[in-house]
Amino acid sequence: MDSKAAKTARESLDLAFHMSNILETGLDRHTLSVLIALCDLGLNPEALAAVVKELRRETLSMSPTVPPPSSS
């Protein structure tokens, strides 16, 4: 990738990340970059969004909501 293409790609990711932050998606720059790359490869963006939502739901259900009792 030449330097102009790399600069354009970086600026595009910066803009997408800024939009992501405005929309409060909670996506970090790396995750957003991976999702954009998957879309560029032809994956369905709606399907990817559904996967992200499901993974978040599973992560939340696995995290403890009540702290464990202290052993003292």
- pTM attached to this predicted model: 0.75
At 4-56, the pLDDT tens digits run 999 999 999 999 999 999 999 999 999 999 999 999 999 999 999 999 999 99
**What whole-number distance in Å separates Cα of residue 13 and Cα of residue 67?**
38
pLDDT at res. 70: 64
